Amino acid sequence: MSHGLLWLPLLLVFVLLTTLGWLERRRQHLFREWAEGSELAKLDGCGAARLLDGVLSWSSFEAGKLVVRDSFVIKQLELVELLALGSGEAPLTEEAQGACRLRLVGGGQQKDLPFSDAERARRWIDELMARSRCEL
């Protein structure tokens, strides 16, 4: 009997890991459907983003679905800044890594797009600025 009780925590860990894997698979499936046909798309720990027909929109995964948080028309893009995710208006240095946000400025508005990886955010800056120039 005591040997059986030793296996119980392992069984619970297995069930937990299986459930987490199923949730991640579902999140990725929803993202693939949402981002289908996009010119540019990303999925990370901070959420999902896509560029479709000149409109950049981003969402988060909540309650088994992707909920759109905000959008920005790329044609109006004037400036993209790389900022730290949680510390106010502090710009991110070139060697900094980790979570950050892109500040999109243009058309009299500014919006923040969160990223969990600064390298990917830097690549997105180049892509977004190139696409905004093409839209003009």
- Enclosing H/E stretch for 29: helix 2-35
pTM recorded for the entire structure: 0.77
Can you say whether residue 88 is alpha, beta or left, with left for phi > 0 and alpha for psi between -120 and 50 degrees? left
Show the domain range for 37: 2-135
CATH number of the domain residue 80 falls in: 2.30.29
d(CA 45, CA 103) in angstroms, rounded, equals 18
Counted domains in the chain? 1
Q: Which residues of the chain have pLDDT under 70?
A: 1, 87-95, 133-136
How does pLDDT run across 59-72, given as a tens digit for each residue? 998 888 888 899 99
